Amino acid sequence: MPYRAPIDAYMRLLRDVVGYDAVAATDRFAEANHETVAAVLGEAGKLCEEVLAPLQRNGDLDPARLENGVVRTSKGFAEGFKALAEGGWIATSAPEAYGGMGLPLTVTTCVNDMMGAACLALQLNPLMSQGQIDALEHHASDELKDLYLPKLISGEWAGTMNLTEPQAGSDVGALSSKAVPNSDGTYAVTGQKIYISWGDNDFSENVCHLVLARLPDGVPGTKGISLFLVPKRIPDENGNPGVANDLHVVSLEHKMGLHGSPTCVMQYDGARGWLVGEPHDGMRAMFTMMNNARLGVGVQGVSVAEGALQHALGYAQERKQGRSPEGTIIGHADVRRMLATMKAETFAARAIALSLAVAIDMGNATGDAEWKARAALLTPITKAFGTETGIKVANLGVQVHGGMGYVEETGAAQYLRDVRVTAIYEGTNGIQAMDLVGRKMMDGGEAIFALLDEIESGAEAARGQMPELAEPVWQAAESLRETTEALVARDMGDRFGGAVPYLMGFARVLGAHYHLRAALAAPDSADARLAGFYIQRLLPEHAGLLAEARAEVGALANLKTEDLVA
């Protein structure tokens, strides 16, 4: 079954579920009404269906490779990237002053969702550039912005982010890369970085690396880290790529999936770099890119879920096995259960991600602190639940295919292999959960309770029309409120053992809230019937998750290391 961009699904979510009307009502995004958005998504959808989707298998079967120091990309990737760059799809939300479209991030989120479903390995490239554009726009000097933003926005140049080192993964403060001032105001950057997505390619004029390193007077830990822009080729006096910088690709990682995306070990040997932001303030600048990427990675999970769902549906409608009313396996109860779960989970994760994008757009357009708090709250949930959903749905897709799912020729396994890493990068899902019960509860739970008030008000309003769906949602929100109150009352360290089930339970309730909204908007529709399935069959999982989150820490803390290895 070839990929089909779900434009109608996006428009229903924007119109009826995630409150996009508020974004279009702002002065900043007044031109991005539903008609405009539908037209933009329609054009992006054509690109994804006709150009990017045919590259999905190429990336897996013809991996990126390193030949004599040069990265060679998968067959067709250069042409695919050229098509999306020329269409402006890297820069849908980039500033118009530098050549971007200036559209809401919500629109970009839908476009990225489609691109990831069509070909995730290639979509990673523009995602990295989008994050770098965001970081430079907010933190770089005017001189750097004037030189680099137009090139990144046009797709002539590509961007990366360089955080991880062999001894410094999640503990970024342990990095050892150094930056020494040069006499001309630039810096000599030295160090090795690993796991650098799209660290090089053979179709961009230049590759621009954002690199974390420590100045000579930088203190230990994250507070002593600075951020540098280090190009592969140093721009000449006309802004064109000039001489090669002192950096190179050491090797490409041999990965479980995403074979078309070159993940590089990068070596910097006194490479010339330019400071971004203030000295020793690199983490604040880099977090701008990382938070952009956390939404993007959560959406990658949704993307793969959509691709795996469409792939499984196509197979289930054709595969004849046993007796069923439809004559194919889609009529079997357990296959239907799996497909319904895949579809309902994908809807929930997509709605959460788009709600985050709406909150970011509203915060940017209005400056309202409550919208910014909502965006901060939804970021770890979007990243963790979106990626866990991608893994779950892709795994179910293999199961729907049965034995053929375990055979690489069907392509079902690729979705699972490609998506697995998303739960690890941009902050593991455990770190996202710790952020949710840690930093996001430093306000005493105020932002969480404000969201729960909305969920309960929505459920109360729905009781007259859909009591069988509204009541479970209201009760689940109350359970989440009680769990939140219990966690807020604990010491922060005592919350961490239950952080992951708390986040997943939270996402379960949020998903039910958005499903209920969709059902209310169209009571006799596929969306309403899907909402019934989610609320009656999947929402009950929240009870066990929140019970685990509330459990006393003793059962975990009392386990000794020798108990685990005995």
Asked if residue 433 lies in contact with residue 382, where contact means CB atoms within 8 angstroms, the answer is: no
Q: Which residues of 17-50 are buried (b: 16+ CB within 10 A; e: fewer)?
A: bbbbebbbeeeebeebeeeebbebbeebbebbbe
Separation CA 454–CA 447 (nearest Å): 11
CA distance 484 to 477: 10
DSSP characters for 246-290?
A: SEEEEEE---SS-TTS-EEEEEEEEEEEEEESSTT-HHHHHHHHH
Nearest to 219 by CA among 283, 127, 137: 283
Query: How far apart are the C-alpha atoms of 529 and 351, rounded to whole Å?
Result: 17
Catalytic residue among 96, 426, 460, 552: 426
State the DSSP string of 322-358: S--TTSSGGGSHHHHHHHHHHHHHHHHHHHHHHHHHH
What 8-state DSSP symbol labels residue 534? I
Report residue 562 CA to chain centroid gap: 37
Whether 426 is catalytic: yes
User: What DSSP string describes 214-241?
Assistant: E-TTPPSSGGGEEEEEEESEEE-TTSSE
Sign of CA pseudo-dihedral 305, 438, 506, 451: negative
User: What is the per-residue DSSP string for 4-66?
Assistant: ---HHHHHHIIIIIS-HHHHHTSSTTTT--HHHHHHHHHHHHHHIIIIIGGGHHHHHHS--EE
**DSSP 8-state secondary structure symbol assigned to residue 104:** -
List, by residue number, the catalytic residues.
426
